[in-house]
Amino acid sequence: MPRKLVVGITQGDGNGIGYEVIIKALADERMLDICTPVIYGSSKIFGFYKKQIHNIDQINTNVITSAKDVHNKRVNIVNCLPENVFVEPGQSTPESAKSAMTSLKVAVEDIRNGYIDVLVTAPINKRAMVEEGFGYTGHTEYLEKEFGVDEVAMIMVCDRLKVGVVTGHVSLKDVPSLITKEKIISKLRLMTASLRRDFGIDAPKIAVLGLNPHCGDGGLLGDEEREIILPAVQEACTEGILAFGPYSPDGFFGLGNYSKYDAVLAMYHDQGLTPFKALAFEDGVNYTAGLPIVRTSPDHGTAYEMAGRDLADPRSMIASIYTAIDIFNNRENYDELQRNKMNIKLPDTEIKPRGGRIIE
């Protein structure tokens, strides 16, 4: 039986719905049977929002200053914010942005040190954080830099659909210049590796979407499909990647063709996330593939208009916690299998297969 993991949860923007969905997600005592939650933020803010939520039984908390001191049968809160912190539900403020940054930085340091096993991040206000000197357009870009990896992939995940993007948090006018054959192939490699290791799919099939309406309509509406995307798909296939397309996004999602594939690679943010959220907003999860750690996040934003009103749906946060745990365990199983394969010694009289090839 897998061990109970320590799940680090950042508070996100304290003026949004982060605390509400965290509290609702952890209110079910059964959550403590599968993980040890550690919230990075403020016990004061936690208490404030808990009072706004109806039908929540007593939540046993353990207020600490370090994740080294977790209690595995309680909801742990690492007090990493100033004692005089206060909240203004529904408002974007410099203080809430700074608190979100502090929560994230402390949690990242703890996962580096091995005090927590996985990271779940509550929603942030990207613009407010940039204005306070964050320096990144989102969690994904920050974690990519912090862990020193060359590339990551944002993959939106639910039980029936997984969608990655070639370009992430960039302006739409900049997208065409960022679509290259090399970048598409790189994302396909990363997604394939993640689908195998993180989701246990042995031979994942990935559908690739076009960039232009009707996939360029034979060049009438653009030639990226013929000159960039199709050659990328073809070259990826020569590497053993099961990539297909490009497909016109409207018909692809409208006809439900996504159900025939293990994942979809979209060219830009809204091309992939709009249909994903239309199909799976309640239980969708944002996963960052390519990191040495496991990080997930709800697929919604701060939703200031709901903050402090007991209206937020916690299902995406619950799914984020479950998904992080599943991915961590899948990785351990996959890595153990690979180690076992490396230790297998073939007999001297090995029979060589004739023709074809074996794709791992």
What is the rounded average pLDDT for all residues in the chain? 92
Q: Which of the listed residues 290, 312, 334 is the one where a domain comes to its end?
A: 290
- pLDDT confidence of 190, banded at 50, 70, 90? very high
Give a yes or no: residue 277 inside a domain.
yes
What pLDDT, on the 0 to 100 scale, is given for residue 194?
Answer: 98
Q: Which long-range contacts (CB under 8 A, 24 or more apart) does 43-46 make?
A: 43/77, 43/79, 44/83, 44/85, 45/11, 45/14, 45/19, 45/81, 45/85, 45/87, 46/19, 46/77
Average pLDDT over residues 184-195: 98
Same domain, 137 and 205: no
Residue 359 has pLDDT above 70, yes or no: no
pTM: 0.91
Q: Number of folded domains in the chain?
A: 2
Q: Are residues 236 and 145 in the same domain?
A: no
Q: Is the pLDDT of residue 135 over 60?
A: yes
Residue 355 belongs to some domain of the structure: no
Contacts of 190 (CB under 8 A, 6+ apart): 151, 152, 153, 289, 290
Same domain, 65 and 165: no
Give the number of C-alpha atoms closer than 13 A to the C-alpha of residue 240, restricted to the C-beta side. Answer: 9
At residue 227, does pLDDT exceed 90? yes
Are 264 and 161 in contact by the 8 Å Cβ rule? The answer is yes
SS (H, E, C) 29-72: CCHHHHEEEEEEECHHHHHHHHHHCCCCCCCCEEEECCHHHCCC
pLDDT recorded at residue 344: 66
Please tell me whether residues 278 and 312 are part of one structural domain.
no
Examine the domain organization and report whether 9 and 141 are in the same domain. yes
Whether residue 359 lies inside any domain: the answer is no
Give yes or no: residues 280 and 310 share one domain: no
Whether residue 139 is found in the same domain as residue 46:
yes
Q: Is the pLDDT of residue 2 over 80?
A: no
Please write the tens of the pLDDT for every residue from 283-317: 999 999 999 999 999 999 999 999 999 999 999 99
In this structure, which amino acid lies at residue 346?
Answer: L
d(CA 94, CA 79): 19
- Structural domain harbouring 228: 151-290
Domain assignment of residue 353, yes or no: no
Between CA 271 and CA 262 the distance in angstroms is: 18
196 and 225 housed in the same domain: yes
Residue 352 lies in a domain: no
CATH number at residue 265: 3.40.718.10
User: Stretch 216-223: mean pLDDT, rounded?
Assistant: 86
d(CA 257, CA 207): 9
In percent, the amount of the chain with pLDDT more than 70 equals 95
In this prediction, residue 328 carries a pLDDT of: 98
Report if residue 356 sits inside a domain.
no
pLDDT of 216 reads: 86
Q: How much is the pLDDT for 1?
A: 57
Question: pLDDT digit string (tens) for 3-56?
Answer: 899 999 999 999 999 999 999 999 988 999 999 999 999 999 999 999 999 988
pLDDT confidence tier of residue 360, bands split at 50, 70 and 90: very low
The reply to whether 156 and 179 lie within a common domain is: yes
Q: Are residues 62 and 126 in the same domain?
A: yes
Residue 92 falls inside a structural domain: yes
| 50 and 186 inside one domain | no
Q: Residue 222 — pLDDT band, cuts 50, 70, 90?
A: confident
Asked whether the predicted pLDDT for residue 350 surpasses 70, the reply is no
pLDDT score for 347:
54
Give, in degrees to the nearest 5, the angle at Cα 88 between 83 and 93. Answer: 90
**Pairwise CA distance, residues 234 & 223, whole Å:** 16
Residue 170 sits in the same domain as residue 109: no
Statement: residue 354 has pLDDT above 70: no
Whether 61 is in a domain gets the answer: yes
